[in-house]
């Protein structure tokens, strides 16, 4: 059992006690949660499969090589969209980003890469479209892109000033 599960379990136990004391509706809460889980299960399973297909279809080496060549403003641009392509969780994405930094990428590229992964990462897209709809996904993506560039640019300027 990982740390997140332990925290969530602790929070759930506390809330069950609070609901039991406050309204006595803790069983209703269980039913509500179970109903929501059953309603969302097909979506979640499908999203897991989609995320798995994305992960195997985007070669890690391709992203790594493509971004290592980037530098400066070009690197920020490449980093933003490269981060989007890093369709994987933090355990897989951060070592790749670390290796790109070690390969000589600038702060701007790396920060754009992390921000692009955080805000645009394709691994989240199945859940975003499933729960928010396509219009929400498009809105979130379009509004996030300039901020990824801005974050990369600020980091690039910070490197120029500080290093």
Partner 1 sequence: MKKSFIFILIPTVILALIAYFVGGIDLVLDGLTVASKTAGQSSIMLIVSFVLIGQLNILITKEILDGWLQKFSGIKGIIISAFAGGLFPGGPYIYYPFIQSFNNKGIPFYIFIAFIMGKNVYDISRVPMEISLVDPKISLVRYLVTLPIPILIAMITRRFFQGKAMDDVFISPGEKE
Between residues 55 and 66, which has the closer beta carbon with respect to partner 1?
55
Q: Applying CB under 8 A, does 140 fall inside the site for partner 1?
A: yes
Please, which residues have CB within 8 angstroms of residue 59's CB and are 6 or more apart in sequence? Answer: none
Distances in Å between the alpha carbon of 57 and those of 62, 96, 122?
A: 11, 16, 12
Q: Applying CB under 8 A, does 104 fall inside the site for partner 1?
A: no
Q: Applying CB under 8 A, does 141 fall inside the site for partner 1?
A: no
Between residues 1 and 61, which has the closer beta carbon with respect to partner 1?
1
Of residues 68-97, which lie at the interface with partner 1 (CB under 8 A)? 89-91, 94-95, 97
Of residues 1-20, which lie at the interface with partner 1 (CB under 8 A)? 1-5, 7-9, 11-12, 15-16, 18-19
**How many Å apart are CA 68 and CA 102, to the nearest integer?**
9
Q: Applying CB under 8 A, does 60 fall inside the site for partner 1?
A: no
**How many Å apart are CA 52 and CA 16, to the nearest integer?**
34
Please, which residues have CB within 8 angstroms of residue 123's CB and are 6 or more apart in sequence? Answer: 51, 54, 55, 86, 87, 88, 89
- State the minimum distance, in angstroms, from the CB of residue 21 to partner 1: 11
Between residues 66 and 154, which has the closer beta carbon with respect to partner 1?
154
- The residue from 73, 77, 127, 141 that contacts partner 1 (CB under 8 A) is 127
> Residues in contact with partner 1, total (CB under 8 A)?
83
Q: Is 97 helix (H, G, I), strand (E, B) or coil?
A: helix
Q: Applying CB under 8 A, does 142 fall inside the site for partner 1?
A: no
What are the two backbone dihedrals, phi and then psi, of residue 86, each rounded to the nearest 5 degrees?
-75, 75
**How many Å apart are CA 114 and CA 99, to the nearest integer?**
13
């Amino acid at each position: 059992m990982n740390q997140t599960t332990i925290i969530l379990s602790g929070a759930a136990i506390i809330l069950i006690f609070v609901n039991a004391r406050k309204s006595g509706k803790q069983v209703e809460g269980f039913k509500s949660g179970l109903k929501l889980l059953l309603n969302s299960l097909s979506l979640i399973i499908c999203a897991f499969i989609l995320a798995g297909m994305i992960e195997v279809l985007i070669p890690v080496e391709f992203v790594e090589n493509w971004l290592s060549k980037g530098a400066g403003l070009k690197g920020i641009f490449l980093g933003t969209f490269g981060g989007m392509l890093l369709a994987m969780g933090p355990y897989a994405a951060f070592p790749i980003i670390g290796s790109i930094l070690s390969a000589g990428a600038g702060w701007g590229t790396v920060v754009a890469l992390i921000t692009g992964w955080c805000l645009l990462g394709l691994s989240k897209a199945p859940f975003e479209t499933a729960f928010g709809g396509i219009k929400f996904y498009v809105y979130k993506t379009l509004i996030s892109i300039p901020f990824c560039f801005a974050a990369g640019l600020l980091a690039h300027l910070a490197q120029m000033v500080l290093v």
